[in-house]
Amino acid sequence: MLLLGATLSAAPAAGSDAGQVSAAVSVGTVVSASGRLRVEVLSPMTPLRRGVQVFQVRVTDAASGKPVSGVVLSVQPWMPAMGHGVSDVPRVTARAPGTFEVSDMDLFMPGAWELRFTLKGTVEDSAAVTLKLGR
């Protein structure tokens, strides 16, 4: 079984667009496996529907609520009911400390999807946010 993810460090590239997902609303928030981090997924599209997605991901300290800098974020979309992920690697772009944009993520089937996050760098942790997509 081949699982693909996307990885990028939390430092924006020189000359990169500093814009963020506009008019985004929270579609899922979890505390990480260690309990030290809070991972929130925001989307400009609600209700969520199948197809190519753009999400903003915020990683904050669970206790203080402050953004966590120096994080390398990996994301692996997974559909538990079907036992598969996606074949294309989503694009991850750092926007600010603890803030990422995940784009080009084709969640091609309606139903429950997990966004499985791995965080490395100044912290090592994992989290999974479950999303329900309509047709």
CB neighbours of 135 closer than 8 A, spacing ≥ 6?
49, 50, 110
CA angle 26, 103, 96 (to 5 degrees): 70
Amino acid at 106: D
pLDDT per residue, tens digit, the chain (135 aa), is 333 333 333 333 333 344 444 588 999 999 999 999 999 999 998 899 999 999 999 999 999 999 999 999 999 999 999 989 888 889 999 999 999 999 999 999 999 999 999 999 988 999 999 999 998
- Please tell me the distance from the alpha carbon of residue 88 to that of residue 104, in angstroms, as a whole number: 8
Closest CA to 70 of 98, 44, 49, 93: 98
Rounded to an integer, what distance in angstroms lies between the CA atom of residue 26 and that of residue 28? 6
pLDDT of residue 133: 94
pLDDT at 85: 87
